[in-house]
Amino acid sequence: MIRIAPAGRALAVAAAASLALTACGGGGDAGTAAKASESAAPASSAPAAAAKGDGTLTIGTLLPQTGSLAFLGPPEFAGVDQAIKEINDAGGVLGKQVTKIHTDSGDTTTNLASQSVDKLLAQKADAIIGAASSSVSESVIDKITGAGVVQFSPANTSDKFTTINDNGLYFRTAPPDKLQGRVLGDLIAADGSDTIGILAMQDSYGSGLADQVTKTAQGAGAEVVERVDYDPKAADFSADVAKIKAKNPKAIVLIGFEEGAKVVQELVKQSLTADKVKWYMVDGNMSNSNYLKMPKNTLKGVKGTIPGAAAPEEFRKKLLANDPKLTNYTYAAESYDAAILIALAAEAAKDDSGKAIAAKLPEVSKGGEKCKDFKTCADLLKAGKDIDYDGVSGPIEFNDAGDPAEATIGVYQYGAENTYDATKALEYRTGKIDG
């Protein structure tokens, strides 16, 4: 693994202490606030009872069954299902079986996410795992966290969530784009490309990643000669690609979702093929089933980055036992870890309410006795021990913003069949999120 020097962090939280609770997306800060609030509450039994959960941990999912990120749904649902199976096999949480409710997040072209959140809140979900899309999560975060429910995404990478106002109830196991963008920018520069064209979808995910790639690549001496932030719902990308072609870059970065297949087809049509120009992709468009319909060698040699280390073989076997059709494992481990951490936090708090879970999530992720599965960790908690859960997706330690403090980015390469090996990476690069 290559250790990446942490980039400097200049967040709004440093501007004024009085803004800390309203301007920050906080895990630790919110937990402290919640504890302070509880300790300041009157001693009467009524308020205490109102703050408690109902004794049954209910985990909802807001993950893509349809839409531009539907290919990420199966591995994410599989990860959550496996975690809840293991939790319930070990006796559940607070002596009761965990309840799960799956819903569809859709994408930003529909109102499915909002409708699904309404359904989950009506069914008293204590925590909601999702969404996969940063833009979808951004559209519902106020509704979820405003209801006192934990929102925990396994795949959101937009930097916006580091400082978003979330009532201390938003967490994620996927790292912010500033790390993936740094790795991708470093990779392009190391491959010898000093002129770069960027085609990025116009939303918080695409624009944020494009900004970081630009910053890193330019810092390494390369030049972004053209950047096009396109409308992902556009019927045609010929004009966008033509702008890139006019600047004759040595490398082209593609940042998007399912529409990326149409962008690839246009690149080929305009003779900007992968054997002439180096292409680079990201997690949002790496696992696109439409690539399989393209002529062989269309993507041969193309490189891309995906947050997180590859799912271990033993873990993949467990998932396949529940879903034999599973072919993609992207964010499966992060989804699994999200569910395990939620359950452990509820167990540690002896309370399944969203605020109680949020207050304990940082605590169960660091600083205690190491453990790697729910039963072992839960047994330690019941014995009065402090725990440090290290997950399938890697060591997880939440910082004050609810982000993982460190993360790993895998670098993959496509072969002649227009696929990459999801179990093998050219390399993994690990770095600190803050610094």
Residue 87 confidence (pLDDT): 98
pLDDT in tens, 7-23: 333 333 333 323 222 22
| CATH architecture of residue range(s) 22-175+313-404 | 3-Layer(aba) Sandwich (3.40)
pLDDT in tens, 262-286: 999 999 999 999 999 999 999 999 9
178-307+408-432: what fold?
Rossmann fold (3.40.50)
Q: Take residue 427 and report the two structure tokens written for it.
A: 């390399």
Give the separation between CA 246 and CA 254, rounded to whole angstroms. 17
pLDDT in tens, 348-384: 999 999 999 999 999 999 999 999 999 999 999 999 9
Residue 51 confidence (pLDDT): 52
Q: Sorting pLDDT into bands at 50, 70 and 90, what band is 40? A: very low
Q: Mean pLDDT throughout 377-393? A: 96
Q: Sorting pLDDT into bands at 50, 70 and 90, what band is 287? A: confident
Which residues neighbour 61 within 8 Å (Cβ) at sequence distance 6 or greater? Answer: 76, 77, 80, 100, 101, 102, 103, 128, 129, 130
Residue boundaries of the structural domains of the chain: 22-175+313-404, 178-307+408-432
* Global pTM exceeds 0.75: yes
Q: Is the pLDDT of residue 181 over 90?
A: yes
- Name which of 329, 344, 353 is nearest 421 in CA terms: 329
Q: Is the pLDDT of residue 260 over 50?
A: yes
Q: Is the pLDDT of residue 45 over 90?
A: no
Torsion of CA 60, 62, 63, 65, to 10 degrees: 100
Length of the chain: 435
Coil/strand/helix, residue 200: strand
Q: What is the rounded average pLDDT for all residues in the chain?
A: 88
Strand order, beta sheet including 369-371: 369-371, 387-391, 394-395
- Name which of 350, 383, 343, 384 is nearest 365 in CA terms: 343
Q: Is the pLDDT of residue 424 over 50?
A: yes
